[in-house]
Amino acid sequence: MDKLVDEFVVPGDVIGKIGDLKVRIGPGLLQSKETVVATKAGVLRYSKFHKFYWIENEQKRYVPQVEDMVIGTIVEKHAESFKVDIGSSCNALLSAYSFEGATKSNKPLLNIGNLVYARVTVANRDMEPEIVCLSQKQKAEGFGQLIGGYMLNCSLGLSHYLLSEDCYILQVLGKHIPYEIAVGVNGRVWVNSGSNINTIIISNTIINSQFIQEDQIEPFILKALETAKEQNQ
């Protein structure tokens, strides 16, 4: 499969065989026994850190898969659960007990419109998706309510790239601006920094990275920071 990484593929192309059972496949790929076939046109990508293959394209409709990390918006609040918009064809179910330390007397104080960073645990075309704000170790580890900051939307391909361990965009941003980020493979990105101006610069850099070359990203950031500094003088 490694031979086709970063190459353009079309539906029907045989990508290869999965020899490592820990390898996962994502959007645009279908496994038939040991063979992996492309179901969408795009560029084949691979994340070494997550051991994850996917097809990167401009698709924006998210199809949930188990173990996906997603950003959702609370749209309904019930006694012991929440309905969450994760960008799929139907809302996801989030139990009030799917948070670290949650009990009947200690439930999360979430309201309609709040953002949560969650993990998909049930993904079936005949059932509504289910998500939890817990890692596989049943700890928060970054999952839960996202407070403050700003959420932006991007292509599913870009969100997968932002999660890769060698993401150049985030590395360059970190050199110039301290920030927090949560990336959902459902095409949603949450960013938070010390100021609204820096948050805007980070968001604009991520969005515009789809249309500019890598060697233009750092000059883009520096110019934005310089402009912001001049306006504040």
DSSP code per residue over the chain: -GGGTTSEE-TT-EEEE---TT-EE-TTEEEETTEEEE-S-EEEEEETTTTEEEEE-S--S----TT-EEEEEEEEE-SSEEEEE-SSSSPEEEEEEEETT-BTTB-----TT-EEEEEEEE--TTS--EEEES-TTSS-TT-EEE-SSEEEE--HHHHHHHTSTT-HHHHHHHHH--EEEEEETTTEEEEEESSHHHHHHHHHHHHHTTTS-GGGHHHHHHHHHHHHHHHH-
Same domain? For 163 and 175 the reply is: yes
* pLDDT (mean) for 118-127: 90
Same domain? For 135 and 154 the reply is: no
* Residue 61 maps to a domain: no
pLDDT surpasses 90 at 95:
yes
Same domain? For 158 and 110 the reply is: no
* Residue 64 maps to a domain: no
* pLDDT (mean) for 4-9: 81
pLDDT for position 2? 63
* Residue 142 maps to a domain: yes
| CA–CA distance, 72 with 182 (Å, rounded to integer) | 11
* Residue 97 maps to a domain: yes
Of 72-76, 110-114, 160-164, the least confident: 160-164
The CATH number given to whatever domain includes residue 96 is 2.40.50.140
Same domain? For 131 and 76 the reply is: yes
Same domain? For 177 and 214 the reply is: yes
Same domain? For 87 and 115 the reply is: yes
Q: Give the residue with greater pLDDT, 68 vs 30.
A: 68
- pLDDT confidence tier of residue 203, bands split at 50, 70 and 90: very high
pLDDT for position 22? 62
pLDDT for position 192? 95
- pLDDT confidence tier of residue 20, bands split at 50, 70 and 90: low
Same domain? For 134 and 164 the reply is: no
Same domain? For 88 and 109 the reply is: yes
Mean pLDDT of the chain: 87
The CATH number given to whatever domain includes residue 194 is 3.30.1370.10
Same domain? For 111 and 158 the reply is: no
pLDDT surpasses 90 at 145:
yes
* Residue 85 maps to a domain: yes
pLDDT surpasses 70 at 21:
no
- pLDDT confidence tier of residue 65, bands split at 50, 70 and 90: confident
Q: What is the pTM of this model?
A: 0.79
Q: Give the residue with greater pLDDT, 58 vs 191.
A: 191
> Which domain does 196 fall in, by range?
150-232
The CATH number given to whatever domain includes residue 40 is 2.40.50.100
pLDDT surpasses 60 at 49:
no
Largest CA distance in the chain: 63
How large is the C-alpha radius of gyration of the chain? 19
- pLDDT confidence tier of residue 218, bands split at 50, 70 and 90: very high
Same domain? For 138 and 158 the reply is: no
The number of domains in the chain is 3
Which of 25, 56, 87 finishes a domain? 56
Copy the structure tokens of residue 81: 């659960």
pLDDT for position 135? 93
Same domain? For 7 and 51 the reply is: yes
* Closest CA relative to residue 157, chosen from 64, 46, 50: 46
Same domain? For 141 and 180 the reply is: no
pLDDT surpasses 70 at 50:
no
| CA–CA distance, 168 with 68 (Å, rounded to integer) | 22
pLDDT for position 117? 98
